[in-house]
Amino acid sequence: MKAEYALHALDFSFSFSTSNFLIMYSIFRCSIPPGSNVYFVNTDPAVIIDTGHPDSVEQTLDILKRHVPLDNVGYILCTHTHGDHIGGASAFQKAFGAKTMIFMPEVNSKLTDKHRREIRLIHEMPEIDSYLEADMQITVGDDFIRVIHTPGHADDHCCFYFTKRKYLFTGDLLANDDIGFLNINKHYTTALDEIKHSIEQCATLETTRVFTGHGDTYRMAPWNKIMRKLSLFERNPALLVPHTLISPFLFHLWAAGRPVPVEESENYIVDHAYLFDGFLENCTPDLILHEFRRLATLLTFRGIVNVADNCFTHAFTSKPTWQWYKRKMKE
């Protein structure tokens, strides 16, 4: 039985027949600024993958309750324990009573309580029912979810592969047509080796749709493009400075909720120079400021950041987005 996938507008029915095909409403994706994807997988039992930023929990739950059948949620799985992916897990657990599973949490020594407050990442940890292990399989009706341990962005990062449907959920291994920032709690060479191995594991999988932690989905993931970028990082490690600064800069603008003077943003970035300690050598404040200014220019050119009256604002949409992906099967 061959399955094909297409983006479909919201509909309140979950299957129908047409021209000898059965159309199943299979995946629901919800994204709320600052842009973490939350997925509902319409299996039996249903699965929620990643729970979004803690600041958007109530809005996410409201959208899910209005648009998907939540009475059969059996599992809440998080690709990793960064707050923009696990931030809603405790509230989701209380709402659905589902079994919550994560990999053994990493120790993120550089994400201080002060930094969490600055970017609104303070959240309650859920009660963990059991911990995920590499290559374990979770049964969901007629399918199995394979847990693939994929460090490089975080030590506890996992991807989830539905072996029959051939869905792959990548978390921040693939996000916004890029990789998430490398794990800054270890030397960049170690993080690069880890993330390359993680990508190699996923690139061998047969996939019908790849669902990312941030941004759009893919029919074919751009693994070769990502590997070429990693090779550039190996040849010129200084490129890791702007790549690492993207996330703290955008979260800084979003959390401020107002136009941010350029000088204030520059001071914020330089104050976080400690993020590079033990990760990348020779990261002086002057180098970080220089690379940040180049990054800000690039993000402005791409329309991700706006500059007016010597102030930055982010260009994220203020509205949540959601959509169904449908699965077309021959009857």
Residue ranges of domains in the chain: 3-235+317-330, 238-314
Q: Give me the mean pLDDT over the 101-114 stretch.
A: 67
Q: Which residue has the higher pLDDT, 148 or 2?
A: 148
Task: Judge whether residue 19 has pLDDT over 50.
Answer: no
Q: Which residues contact 80 (CB under 8 A, 6 or more apart)?
A: 86, 102, 103, 106, 153, 154, 156, 157, 158, 171, 172
* pTM of the predicted model over 0.95: no
> Which CATH number describes the domain made up of 3-235+317-330?
3.60.15.10
Question: Could you give the 3-state DSSP secondary structure of residue 215?
Answer: coil
Q: Which residue has the higher pLDDT, 97 or 106?
A: 97
pLDDT tens for 20-60 read 445 567 899 999 878 899 999 999 999 999 999 888 899 99
Task: Judge whether residue 7 has pLDDT over 70.
Answer: no
What's the confidence (pLDDT) of residue 57?
92
The order of strands in the sheet holding 209-211 is 137-140, 143-149, 158-162, 167-169, 209-211
What's the confidence (pLDDT) of residue 157?
95
Residue of 42, 44, 15 whose CA lies nearest to 26 = 42
Out of 24-33, 177-186, 192-201, 203-212, pick the least confident: 24-33
pLDDT tens for 255-264 read 888 999 999 9
